[in-house]
Structure 1
Amino acid sequence: MASLVCFRKVSEDPYVVGYEFGDDPYVFSRRLTMKKDLHRAVADDGVVDYTFLKASRKINAMRAESGEWPERGMSIS
């Protein structure tokens, strides 16, 4: 079974980056906040599930590759 998670950056300040994410590329139903200094994500709704983990890991991977917090992206597996 295929899995898809899409995300887009909605806010950024010197300490955190906010993202919307979800399993539909047109409807972002959830949000996460990435702490820049630790590269650690917090689910804004408190739900740490597969979709949240997949989004946060992909965001961190893209950040490590480019040196910048991504504006948007997706992970498909």
Structure 2
Amino acid sequence: MAAIVFFRKVSEDGELVRYAFGDDPDGFSRHLTMDRESRTSSADDGRTDYSFAKASRKINAMREERGQWPDRGMSVS
């Protein structure tokens, strides 16, 4: 079974980066917040399901790879 999650940066400040994410790039229904220093994330709706974990891992991987928080992206498996 294939899984896909899209994400887009909504806001960024000195401490946090907030992303919208979901399986429809034209209608994100969820948000996650990433702590810039610890690089830990939390689901704004409290649901730490597969889609949340997939988006969070991909955002962190892209941050590590590029040295900056990505504006948008997707993860497919």
Q: Which contiguous aligned blocks of 4+ residues in structure 1 show a shift greater than 4 angstroms?
A: none
Give the C-alpha shift of residue 48 in structure 1.
Answer: 0.3
Counterpart CA distance in 2 for 1:37 and 1:29 is: 26
User: Over aligned residues, Cα RMSD in angstroms?
Assistant: 0.4
Which residue identity does 1:5 align to in structure 2?
V
Partner of 1:45: 45
Structure 1 residue 27: Cα displacement: 1.1
User: Equivalences for 1:12-23 in 2 at 5 Å?
Assistant: 12-23=12-23
Number of the residue aligned with 1:75 = 75
Partner-residue secondary structure (3-state), 1:11: strand
Instruction: Give the distance between the partners of 1:15 and 1:21, measured in 2 at CA.
Output: 20
Aligned-residue sequence identity (percent) comes to 64
Instruction: For residue 16 of structure 1, report the CA deviation from its aligned partner.
Output: 0.3
Who is 2:8 aligned against? Answer: 8
Any unmatched runs of 5+ in structure 2?
A: none
Superposition pairs of residues 52-67 of structure 1, within 5 angstroms:
52-67=52-67
Size of the aligned set, in residue pairs, is 77
Per the normalisation by structure 1, the TM-score is: 0.98
Deviations 1:14-62 (A, max 9, x none): 0000000001121100000000010000000000000000000000000
